[in-house]
Amino acid sequence: MLATPQIVAPRCSKNLIGAMLVALPLAAWPRAASAYRPFDGTDAAVADLGELEVEWQSVGARREGSQTTLIAPATVVNIGVAPGWEAVFEGQLETPLSSSTPPTLTAAGTFLKHVLRPGSLQNMDGPSIATEFGMLLPDSRGESGTGASFAGIVSQRWDWGTVHLNGEAVLTRNHDADLFLGAIVEGPADWSIRPVAEIFYEKEFGQSETVSGLIGAIWKINDKLSFDLAFRHALTNGHAVNELRAGLTFGFSLRSLSGATRK
């Protein structure tokens, strides 16, 4: 799921979207999950057919100048809809802590992700290659419109760690062109706590330019549950932006859920 990307089911009211973002994690039980929290970029892998994976940020804060904004919950939902394909829905609530402005649903969108070439992330040889494309949806407040994005992802896993390269072209909600280039580096996949880092460059033409770095760790409790913690520092048009991110990733089988419901 990608840098600037943002997600939620289309043609739903914003109130329903917000309720879904809060309710989905509460309705599920853990299964095997592969975190692509806490990054802005993503990996060249998708959920298996019939699986649902939830990436849930319960703690997040962004500091820009004198302004502090709570970013929680921030949610990405990945659903395996066909072999090698997943549907992605995401969005986040932003609450200014230095003003009385009410919370706003932002960074919302809906995407499809497809593995073009199975590779090391699918236990095969060579790089894994994927694409992700979709629609950016309006914020719940303000005058933003809709946008679109198209991304390419290349991932390679070695014994010492994993690298994910992301490139994305975006038509923003304000209909400006935007380019995102990023790289994620992770420690060995078999470590229970592995260090992670991400760098990216983003340019919204005529508007802003951002250089960002993130460091953190992912703690794999078992194959069914992982937690993450990270700190991001960025410069946007020369102004510092600092962000704390903490959350978890889990998943479950939709087939198991439907079977339990029938019983």
Residue 216 counted as domain residue: yes
Spatial separation of the C-alpha atoms in residues 244 and 215, rounded to whole Å: 10
Residue 1 counted as domain residue: no
Question: Which residues are CB-contacts of 220 (< 8 A; sequence separation ≥ 6)?
Answer: 191, 192, 193, 194, 226
As a whole number, mean pLDDT of residues 156-167 equals 98
Residue 7 counted as domain residue: no
Please write the tens of the pLDDT for every residue from 179-228.
999 999 999 999 999 999 999 999 999 999 999 999 999 999 987 799 99
pLDDT band with cut points at 50, 70 and 90 for residue 260:
low
Closest CA to 15 of 108, 96, 114: 108
Domain that holds residue 143: 14-262
* Gyration radius from the chain CA atoms: 18
Check whether 63 has a pLDDT greater than 90.
Answer: yes
Looking at residue 27, which CATH number applies to its domain?
Answer: 2.40.160.40
Please write the tens of the pLDDT for every residue from 112-154.
999 999 999 999 999 999 999 999 999 998 768 999 999 999 9
Residue 113 counted as domain residue: yes
Residue 96 counted as domain residue: yes
Domain count within the chain: 1
Give pTM, 2 decimals: 0.84
Please write the tens of the pLDDT for every residue from 73-105.
999 999 999 999 999 999 999 999 988 889 999
Residue 83 counted as domain residue: yes
Residue 26 counted as domain residue: yes
Spatial separation of the C-alpha atoms in residues 180 and 196, rounded to whole Å: 19
261 compared with 229, residue with greater pLDDT:
229
Please write the tens of the pLDDT for every residue from 1-53.
444 433 333 333 444 334 333 333 333 333 333 448 999 999 999 999 999 99
Question: Contact at 8 Å (CB) between 137 and 154?
Answer: no
Residue 3 counted as domain residue: no
Q: Is 20 helix (H, G, I), strand (E, B) or coil?
A: helix
The pLDDT score that the predictor gives to residue 29 is 37
Task: Indicate the average pLDDT of the chain.
Answer: 87
